[in-house]
Chain A
Amino acid sequence: MRILLVEDDAEVARFVRKGLQEAGHVVEHAPNGRDGLFLAASEQFDILVLDRMLPGGVDGVRLVETLRGQGNRTPVLFLSALSAVDERVKGLQAGGDDYLVKPFAFAELLARVEALGRRPTMEAPATRLKIADLEMDLLSRTVTRGGKRLEIQPREFRLLEHLLRHAGQVVTRTMLLEKVWDYHFDPQTNVIDVHVSRLRQKIDKGFDKPLIHTVRNAGYMIRAEA
């Protein structure tokens, strides 16, 4: 993917850029909002990673508002040291698609960038999600594996749906917490792990090839081969 990173802190920028490049992406970097806006408006990117507070008169929120005003719909991930709920709401209202609070683990950033860059298109909503011999029917809300129907709770269904929509991608615990439960706080305990392991019991137990994999220091991934 072609990614524009607008970040004024040289050290953070270097670290993020290097990481994203190692993951196989092309990264352009702008150290301030003005240059960032110029690049974002004049070139084609798959995703913008913006610091919320930027020097040069154009901060992240202004940058996104300007782009959206011009009809540019490139997905935007905000990076910010401002963790207050209001700040998150402000960033998302301005047209941001995701919000990540500093300090962050690189794995978390990468997972979110890849999730945003490969978002399912709104135009063609899928009615069936499928991986290997696991099939999910979104209309009848049923899940089968190898033709055998699985008993799944509504919340587990949403959890599995989220994993399936990002099949082959890492999904972090925080992402699951935010996207499946819509909670934006620290649950103190490893609640997400417990929920995933419950889901795993239902999906993978009794089948020789597990589908849900734990990615060390990052999160979970659903994929076909081991």
Chain B
Amino acid sequence: MGGTAQRDLPAGWDALLRLLRSAGFRFALLFTGVFIGASALFAAVLWYATAGSLDRQTAVALRADTLGLMERWREGGPGAVAEAIAERLAADVENTAIYLLLGPDRRRLAGNLDRWPAGATDDGVWVYGIVEREGTRVEARILARELGEDYWLAVGRDVEEKQRLRELLAEGIGWSALGALVFALGGAVVLRRALESRLHPAVQTARAIAAGDLSHRVPLSRREDEFDRLGEGMNDMLDRIDRLMVAVRGVSDAIAHDLRTPIARARAKLEEALAGSDDPEALRAAMEQGIADLDHISRVFSALLRIAEAEAGARRAAFAPIDVVPLLAEIAEFYGAVAESRGQVLETALPPWLELVGDRDLLAQAAGNLVDNALKFTPDGGRVRLSARMLGRERIEIAVEDSGPGLAPADRARAGERFFRADASRGTPGSGLGLSLVQAVARLHGGELVLQDADPPPGLRAAMLLGAG
């Protein structure tokens, strides 16, 4: 969508835009930002705790000094203050103290400052700058106070030493900030590379799949991190796609075989009728048979589509909570008429209620297929039993047991396959799709189809195990 707009831009812009859109770059940028932010915070704290602390110490000392001198003023007037200043200057070994007492008319009464500091025009004003102390220029911090009666007092400290310390500190912080920036940028580049190199196998695999090579899988690093989880997710998805492809191939093979055969039969019959006798009655019979054959093919086709529908899982959207007991009772009543007409007994063993979340229509059809199968393979006068029960807390079993000949273990394994018909069943009508549908429906409901010997034998017990959720 943005491609057309960018085509007009110079190549450099294009590359920049691409860089800005890259997730790796954005992560790296975030990383740099966080890193620089953390460094700045660290430097600020350091500054506050060192240089700031020195400043605050000076201010506290000056305030205390001034208060002391003002006390003297109240006690003894200008003389006492001048005396105190002289005492303090004498005691100042480090030679950092600065004092100046001015009398009315700006007369200098005491102190070592040559001139009243510029800017100290009001009571309580702080001055920061270069002053002249006994002929030498020094950097100082000064607090000015008016003592009263036009007497003014300035108390200060030479802060040159501390200023040098500040400069050193600032220089140090500057260098480390530069170092941090280099680290941050370096880290960002490494981060981006790492991200790209971890994503690369997945991208590579996706490209190969898109190009048609379905055997590709995302190589895993065994670190079991987020990227491995992404890779595992992709691999699971690809395995599922693979299985579906195999299933589709299986169905097309089955269709090719099991639909072509009846089509060929119908075609042969129609052709034979056309070429054969001119008897209109025979021709009519052949056409009726042809239509019946086509109907049979169409039914097989519908059954295949129904199975595919269940297998694709698309019907899960239509799942709703249902009580399977009335559903099974209706099925039993529906097929019960058939059983009765053959002298068979269709019994039911159903609990008062049994609820699950599922597809009513598919479950009814699957249960119907099981009952229908059982009735077909049970001799006249035999018994078929439809039962349902809870198995543990999570599973529901819907079982149909017959008193027919049963199914050989080798055939049981293949009974769910499409179009599979055990040799013994060749004589009965059916398409070989009934149990395939039951299996697909059971799987759709998070379960499976289990075939066992009936108890007591002979006979087959076919059970759908369904998830109750």
Interface, chain A (partner B; CB < 8 A): 83-86, 89, 101, 103, 105, 155, 181, 183-191, 194-195, 197-198
Contacts and interface: CB of A to CB of B under 8 A. Distances in A.
B57 interface: no
Contacts of A190: 338
A181 B330 contact: yes
B369 interface: yes
B330 A86 contact: no
26 contacts: A83-B305, A83-B306, A85-B318, A85-B361, A86-B314, A86-B315, A86-B318, A101-B302, A103-B294, A183-B334, A183-B361, A183-B364, A183-B368, A185-B306, A185-B364, A187-B334, A187-B335, A187-B372, A188-B369, A189-B335, A189-B338, A189-B375, A191-B335, A191-B338, A197-B341, A198-B337
- Main SS at interface, chain A: loop
Contacts of B295: 105
Contacts of A183: 334, 361, 364-365, 368
B337 A194 contact: yes
B169 interface: no
Contacts of A185: 306, 361, 364-365, 368
Nearest to B306: A185
Contacts of A89: 318
Contacts of A194: 337-338, 341
Given A103-B294, A103-B298, A194-B338, A186 B303 contact: yes
- Main SS at interface, chain B: helix
B369 A83 contact: no
A50 B338 CA distance: 36
Contact of B334 (A84, A86, A181): A181
B315 A85 contact: yes
B302 A84 contact: no
B364 A186 contact: no
B305 A84 contact: yes
A172 B429 CA distance: 22
B232 interface: no
B337 A191 contact: yes
B386 to A, nearest CB: 15
B314 A186 contact: no
B323 interface: no
A85 B330 contact: no
A128 B305 CA distance: 42
A164 to B, nearest CB: 20
Contacts of B337: 191, 194-195, 198
Interface centre among B299, B318, B338 (most CB of A within 10 A): B338
Given A187-B372, A188-B369, 13 more contacts: A83-B302, A83-B305, A85-B309, A85-B315, A86-B315, A89-B318, A155-B333, A183-B334, A183-B368, A186-B302, A187-B368, A188-B430, A191-B337
Contacts of A84: 305, 309, 314
B434 interface: yes
Contacts of A191: 334-335, 337-338
Interface in B328-346: 330, 333-335, 337-338, 340-341
